[in-house]
Amino acid sequence: MGGLTGDPAFAATTFVVIDFEATTPTGFPAQPIEVAALALRYETGTWTTAGRPFSSLIRPPAFAPVTPADTAQTGLTAEQVGQAPSPAEALGALDRRFAAGKPYLLVAQHAATEANLIHNQREHCPALARIDLLDTIPLARYLFPGLPNYRLDTLLAHFSIKHPADRHRAYADVEVTAEVFMRLVGAADENAELSDLAALVKIAGRTAKCNMPAQGELFDVHPTSERGHG
């Protein structure tokens, strides 16, 4: 056990590896068509799964149809997602997995993508939208400088993790991202500068948009105060 995994805050946290597949309609934000999540805990020196894995297709709105390019990348067709649960149904079911008052962190490869998708769907998943994230890319860059790039396929090759047959499907990507994350934590455990969860968050953390102060609040001027200095 190293400093990081020996930290009580690390041990208390449930790490939820999450991935979305999405369409990218012109003039609109990306719209999810699939989501998967896998919850991990580090207990008594080993990783364990917390609860059942989650996976669901999501029916996109009419303005964001699945395109031939989407099908070529993911294998998902317009017919498949056309019969899928709505965003409210799919993301609501995922949202109910999160227990109030328990510490969670989302884990994602290029977490900005997941952060934006979640924020744009926050009315359907208010609990999920308030969970901060860890990004495997800056963590890998910090721990393993000098790789040609930090794409998921590159990290899979670096760690000799088998490339899944259905790469670019949400649950397949969640499984291998979880493998990468566990390898990164193993490396971080041997790094004296990453001695606790706070240090890990400093390197690879991303604040959920719902947890950021609104721009207006940063510059609010109280009218009474303004008059008092007139």
Query: In the numeric block, which tokens belong to residue 87?
Result: 């965003």
Helices (H), the chain: 8-12, 68-74, 78-82, 87-95, 111-120, 136-143, 152-158, 170-188, 197-204, 215-218, 223-228
pLDDT given at position 42: 97
Fold of 8-228: Nucleotidyltransferase; domain 5 (3.30.420)
Q: What is the pLDDT along the chain (230 residues), one digit of tens a residue?
A: 568 999 999 999 999 999 999 999 999 999 999 999 999 999 989 999 999 999 999 999 999 999 999 999 999 999 999 999 999 999 999 999 999 999 999 999 999 999 999 999 999 999 999 999 999 999 999 999 999 999 999 999 999 999 999 999 999 999 999 999 999 999 999 999 999 999 999 999 999 999 998 765 555 555 444 433 33
Beta strand pairing status for 14-23 and 104-108? Answer: parallel
pLDDT given at position 4: 95
Query: In the numeric block, which tokens belong to residue 21?
Result: 């597949």
The model's pTM is 0.91
Beta strand pairing status for 104-108 and 133-135? Answer: parallel
Q: What's the CA gap between 200 and 10, in Å, rounded?
A: 9
Q: What's the CA gap between 47 and 45, in Å, rounded?
A: 7
pLDDT given at position 216: 55
Q: Which of 10, 59, 58 is nearest to 36 (CA)?
A: 58
